């Protein structure tokens, strides 16, 4: 009603002024003026009608809410009237706020949100601490003792990944499985979608073959039918009864826990080492602390148990302890630094956005000085003006924030899709209440930040001077304010550019790291024999694998093939314990030495391009009937033999059939990744011939062995399919899995770094762009302001180069000051990135100086355009301008 009345009043005011105008016109005509002159004179006398209406409306008064509505309307009108300014300001803000929202939503999802389990703070990861490893795997007997004897845990579970082949339900398929102890789901507090989880005791060795399946598998292979419970699925040829379905929402996103389709009781693993107390079989645990128990108490508890176990079983448990970390810390500690650096980076981008908008507002507020002065003259108070200007900037920031939110919602999803799978908890990233709150606060803070300075300055307009100067006058203060903002902008942009530069240099350094093998044109995949082979003899499996090897070798375009078991460079790792035969046999396994272990065939060096340094590599004759031989890498040779010649020496490797003669030395391969390998403690590498695998191990390899092959570059596009059909042609039960080129494996290992560099790079370039726009705007503005002065100088004989130099030096003064400040800031700030860098120091002089030069150069370019314009000032025009 009130607004309606207001609209009427507005119309009346229009009419009132209109009638005034008409009467004034008529008077003039009656006094003899021509129609045109009368109209013009009357309009001139009336003055700025919009402004009069505006001030008159203010006299109507009204509630503060109404005044706010009035301010908003006026602000909107002002913004709509300057579409160029508004668009630039809104887009700048949307970019800044959007980027912040996106990164914050990631930080929020990954670091701040609690884990999706009841009482997540009670959950800890469990590992055995060993002399070589702080977080080694837990053996089943030790786990059972921990579980039985502790007083601080309400539950404890452990698990290990495994690959199984599903047959009898359509196409054979390899599935990710996990051997778990019965308590895993109850410890986490996850209830099955259907059926039940394993009951205590069902995980014992020799228990009935039962399985839990994922919702995904249930839908894919069992038609999402409730009658799936009690049905049998054939995994590696054994029939498992399905007792429950685990909801798809369950993801224990510890890298290796990804998309698991089957959970099997640990006792179903037919590994003969399972009941062995000293075995390291890759089991890691999760525990739930009793309410009120601190992690220190739990550590003390398990430490005491470990000590008593070490006393009881000195052979296996001497030096064995327990390590635990809060589950969440364990999941996210790798990305913490990265996320905070990114958050800092977008914060800088936002600051620059705000500075730019503040600059725009300052430049505009000088154009609007006359408007402010007149409004003041007409009785608008200063508080009123400040409020009006703040309303305008808040309007801008709100529109920018809204747009930014949309950008973020879209951008986060887009970015996460491209993300290396390595980001833990990526699925939990989204816009929730906390993100919205963050965005609102940031948006309002922006509005105040970039609005307040121009508003206060605009309101302090000196009416007398402004009107006298015809609105063109300018105080040096404003110029200084703009200069300070540009300097700040340059400094911020430089810090970001340097960070991005350091990441780029790290990546470049990594690409130049020699991985120790030639990754080009190498294909890696897995082959599983048909389930009927699970009861085959070791010789039967050897024959079948030889056949696979022959079939693949015969594929056109394939130049060399090697079966591979154990560790894969940059892929999974596998270790063997050993001792040197000429030295005394260690009393316990913990005193044995350890090496990365590769089980390969004679063509392995040809496939991988690993150089043979001394001696010889395996041949086809190093088979199951020949004496056992081994090859070591140069790290192994240096570490365990020092100055001695290893060739001809013998080592004993219990898990690989005992004593073997060292026959050759090959180059070291960066198993742990291009970046990490040099700093890892376990680097010695041991190669043994595939066919000399002990029978028990050979029998285990039927359901999945690795294959590496080198192909001719010309065959790159087709070799994968040709090999697949060759494998399938052996029998329909033969399965080919996980095909990847070695180049892909290397690229994936750098994904996280590349992603963070990409993001930092994008932020840095946005910052650069904004800063360049900023300095361009300010210098253009300066030129505009000094047109007259420049005109006079030219009239007095200044040549173009002089003018150019004068303007450029103004711009470059600001730039260089900004660069200097940014340089110092970066020196202090890049330290936090230390863990993200490789092969480059946090104060790398090349990056620092190169980037500083780049910024100075680009800024000079931005100043050159208006400077060039200044040289073209026509002195006559400039002077008449007044």
Q: How far apart are CA 261 and CA 212, in angstroms?
A: 8
According to the binding rule CB under 8 A, does residue 60 interact with other proteins?
Answer: yes
Residue among 40, 91, 419, 463 that touches other proteins (CB under 8 A): 463
Please, what's the b/e burial string for 550-561 (b: 16 or more CB within 10 A of its CB; e: otherwise)? ebbeebebbebb
According to the binding rule CB under 8 A, does residue 16 interact with other proteins?
Answer: yes
- The piece of 41-49, 430-438, 486-494, 724-732 that touches other proteins (CB under 8 A) is 41-49
Q: How far apart are CA 459 and CA 146, in angstroms?
A: 73
Measured from the CB atom, is 188 or 380 closer to other proteins?
Answer: 380
Residue among 7, 23, 585, 801 that touches other proteins (CB under 8 A): 23
Under rule CB under 8 A, which residues in 419-438 are in contact with other proteins?
Answer: none
Q: How far apart are CA 855 and CA 677, in angstroms?
A: 36
**By rule CB under 8 A, what count of residues binds other proteins?**
33
Residues sharing a CB contact under 8 Å with residue 42, sequence separation 6 or more, in sequence order: 21, 24, 25, 28
Residue among 52, 416, 513, 854 that touches other proteins (CB under 8 A): 52
Helix (H, G, I), strand (E, B) or coil at 799: coil
Picking from 436, 417, 435, the residue whose alpha carbon sits closest to that of residue 427 is 417
Q: How far apart are CA 407 and CA 95, in angstroms?
A: 8
Shortest Å, Cβ 832 to other proteins? 47
Measured from the CB atom, is 45 or 743 closer to other proteins?
Answer: 45
Measured from the CB atom, is 460 or 872 closer to other proteins?
Answer: 460
Shortest Å, Cβ 376 to other proteins? 8
According to the binding rule CB under 8 A, does residue 61 interact with other proteins?
Answer: yes
Picking from 631, 628, 601, the residue whose alpha carbon sits closest to that of residue 616 is 631
Measured from the CB atom, is 378 or 856 closer to other proteins?
Answer: 378
Residue among 81, 464, 872, 880 that touches other proteins (CB under 8 A): 464
Measured from the CB atom, is 253 or 376 closer to other proteins?
Answer: 376
Task: Find out whether 865 and 773 touch, Cβ atoms under 8 Å.
Answer: no
According to the binding rule CB under 8 A, does residue 508 interact with other proteins?
Answer: no
Shortest Å, Cβ 365 to other proteins? 17
According to the binding rule CB under 8 A, does residue 469 interact with other proteins?
Answer: no
Q: How far apart are CA 655 and CA 321, in angstroms?
A: 24
According to the binding rule CB under 8 A, does residue 47 interact with other proteins?
Answer: yes
Measured from the CB atom, is 55 or 403 closer to other proteins?
Answer: 55
Element (H, E) at 26: helix 2-30
According to the binding rule CB under 8 A, does residue 56 interact with other proteins?
Answer: yes
- C-alpha distances in angstroms, 866 versus 120, 486, 804, 810? 60, 16, 9, 11
DSSP 99-141: HHHHHHHHHIIIIISPPSSSSGGGEEEEEEE-SS-TTBPPPHH
Under rule CB under 8 A, which residues in 108-167 are in contact with other proteins?
Answer: none
Shortest Å, Cβ 419 to other proteins? 57
According to the binding rule CB under 8 A, does residue 50 interact with other proteins?
Answer: no
- The piece of 459-467, 705-713, 760-768, 844-852 that touches other proteins (CB under 8 A) is 459-467
According to the binding rule CB under 8 A, does residue 45 interact with other proteins?
Answer: yes
According to the binding rule CB under 8 A, does residue 835 interact with other proteins?
Answer: no
Q: How far apart are CA 647 and CA 649, in angstroms?
A: 5
Residues in the chain: 882
According to the binding rule CB under 8 A, does residue 51 interact with other proteins?
Answer: yes
Angle subtended at Cα 664 by Cα 662 and Cα 670, rounded to the nearest 5 degrees: 105
DSSP 226: G
According to the binding rule CB under 8 A, does residue 40 interact with other proteins?
Answer: no
Measured from the CB atom, is 25 or 128 closer to other proteins?
Answer: 25
According to the binding rule CB under 8 A, does residue 3 interact with other proteins?
Answer: no
Picking from 636, 594, 593, 591, the residue whose alpha carbon sits closest to that of residue 615 is 636
According to the binding rule CB under 8 A, does residue 462 interact with other proteins?
Answer: yes
Residues sharing a CB contact under 8 Å with residue 643, sequence separation 6 or more, in sequence order: none
Measured from the CB atom, is 41 or 747 closer to other proteins?
Answer: 41
Under rule CB under 8 A, which residues in 374-393 are in contact with other proteins?
Answer: 374, 376-379
Residues sharing a CB contact under 8 Å with residue 685, sequence separation 6 or more, in sequence order: 567, 595, 596, 597, 598, 632, 633, 635, 636, 668, 669, 671
Q: Which residues bind other proteins (CB under 8 A)?
A: 12-13, 15-17, 19-20, 22-24, 26-27, 45-48, 51-52, 55-56, 58-61, 374, 376-379, 460, 462-464
């Amino acid at each position: 009603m009130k607004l309606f009345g207001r609209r009427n009043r507005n119309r009346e005011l229009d009419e009132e002024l209109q009638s005034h105008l008409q009467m004034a016109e008529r008077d003039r005509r009656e006094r003899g003026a021509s129609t045109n002159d009368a109209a013009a004179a009357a309009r001139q006398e009336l003055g700025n009608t919009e402004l009069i209406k505006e001030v008159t409306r203010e006299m109507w008064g009204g509630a503060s809410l109404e005044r706010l509505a009035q301010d908003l309307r006026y602000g909107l009108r002002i913004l709509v009237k300057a579409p160029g300014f508004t668009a630039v300001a809104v887009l700048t803000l949307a970019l800044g706020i959007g980027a912040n929202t996106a990164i914050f939503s990631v930080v929020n999802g990954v670091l701040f949100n609690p884990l999706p389990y009841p009482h997540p703070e009670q959950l800890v990861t469990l590992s055995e601490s060993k002399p070589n490893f702080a977080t080694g795997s837990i053996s089943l007997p030790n786990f059972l003792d921990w579980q039985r004897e502790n007083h601080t845990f309400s539950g404890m579970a452990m698990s290990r990944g495994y690959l199984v082949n599903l047959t009898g339900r359509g196409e054979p398929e390899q599935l990710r499985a996990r051997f778990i102890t019965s308590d895993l789901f109850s410890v986490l507090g996850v209830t099955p979608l259907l059926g039940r989880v394993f009951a205590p005791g069902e995980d014992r060795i020799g228990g009935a073959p039962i399985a839990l399946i994922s919702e995904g598998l249930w839908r894919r292979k069992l038609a999402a039918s409730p009658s799936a419970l009690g049905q049998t699925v054939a995994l590696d040829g054994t029939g498992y009864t399905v007792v429950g379905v685990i909801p798809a929402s369950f993801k224990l996103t510890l890298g290796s826990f990804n998309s698991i389709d089957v959970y099997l009781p640990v006792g179903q693993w037919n590994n003969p080492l399972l009941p062995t107390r000293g075995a390291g079989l890759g089991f890691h645990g999760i525990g739930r602390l009793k309410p009120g128990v601190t992690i220190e108490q739990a550590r003390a508890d398990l430490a005491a148990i470990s000590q008593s176990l070490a006393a009881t079983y000195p052979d296996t448990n001497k030096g064995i302890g327990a390590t635990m970390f809060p589950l969440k810390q364990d999941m996210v500690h790798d990305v913490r630094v990265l996320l905070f650096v990114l958050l800092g980076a977008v914060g800088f981008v936002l600051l620059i956005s705000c500075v730019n908008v503040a600059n725009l507002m300052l430049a505009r507020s000088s154009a609007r000085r006359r408007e402010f002065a007149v409004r003041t003259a007409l009785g608008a108070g200063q508080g009123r003006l400040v409020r009006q200007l703040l309303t305008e900037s808040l309007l801008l920031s709100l529109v920018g924030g809204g747009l930014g939110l949309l950008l973020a919602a879209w951008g986060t999803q887009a970015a996460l899709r491209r993300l290396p799978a390595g980001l833990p908890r990526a699925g939990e990233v989204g816009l929730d209440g906390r993100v919205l709150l963050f965005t609102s606060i940031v948006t309002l803070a922006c509005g105040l930040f970039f609005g307040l300075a121009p508003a206060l300055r605009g309101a302090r307009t000196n009416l007398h001077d402004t009107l006298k100067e015809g609105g063109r006058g300018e105080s040096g203060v404003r110029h200084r304010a703009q200069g300070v903002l540009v300097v700040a902008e340059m400094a911020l942009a430089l810090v970001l550019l340097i960070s991005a530069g350091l990441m780029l240099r790290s990546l470049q350094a990594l690409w130049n790291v020699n991985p120790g093998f030639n990754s080009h044109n190498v294909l890696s995949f897995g082959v599983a024999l048909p389930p009927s082979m699970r009861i085959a003899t070791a010789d039967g499996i050897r024959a079948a694998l030889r056949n696979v090897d022959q079939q693949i070798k015969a594929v056109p375009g394939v130049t060399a093939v090697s079966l591979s078991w154990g560790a894969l460079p940059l892929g999974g790792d596998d270790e063997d314990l050993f001792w040197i035969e000429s030295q005394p046999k260690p009393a316990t396994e913990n005193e044995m030495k350890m090496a990365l272990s590769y089980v390969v065939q004679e063509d392995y060096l040809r496939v991988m391009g690993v150089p043979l340094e001394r001696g010889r590599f395996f041949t086809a004759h190093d088979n199951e009937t020949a004496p056992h031989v081994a090859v070591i890498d140069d790290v192994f040779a240096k570490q365990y033999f020092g100055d001695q010649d290893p060739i001809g020496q013998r080592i004993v490797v219990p898990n690989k059939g005992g004593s073997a003669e060292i026959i050759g030395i090959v180059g070291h391969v960066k198993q742990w990744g291009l970046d990490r390998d040099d700093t890892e403690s376990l680097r010695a590498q041991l190669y043994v011939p595939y066919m000399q695998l002990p029978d028990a191990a050979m029998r285990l390899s039927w359901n999945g062995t690795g294959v590496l092959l080198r192909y001719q570059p010309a065959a790159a596009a087709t070799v994968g399919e040709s090999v697949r059909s060759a494998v399938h042609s052996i029998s329909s039960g033969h399965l080919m899995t996980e095909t990847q080129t070695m180049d892909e494996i290397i690229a994936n290992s750098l994904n996280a770094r590349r992603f963070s560099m990409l993001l930092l790079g994008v932020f840095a370039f946005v910052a650069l762009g904004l800063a360049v726009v900023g300095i361009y705007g300010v210098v253009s503005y300066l030129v505009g302001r000094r047109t007259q002065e420049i005109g006079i100088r030219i009239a007095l004989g200044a040549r173009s180069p002089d003018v150019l130099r004068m303007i450029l030096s103004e711009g470059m003064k600001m730039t260089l000051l900004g660069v200097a400040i940014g340089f110092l800031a970066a020196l202090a700030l890049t330290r936090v990135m230390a863990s993200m860098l490789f092969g480059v120091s946090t104060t790398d002089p090349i990056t620092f100086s190169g980037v500083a030069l780049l910024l100075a150069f680009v800024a000079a370019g931005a100043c050159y355009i208006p400077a060039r314009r200044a040289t073209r000032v026509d002195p006559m025009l400039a002077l008449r301008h007044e």
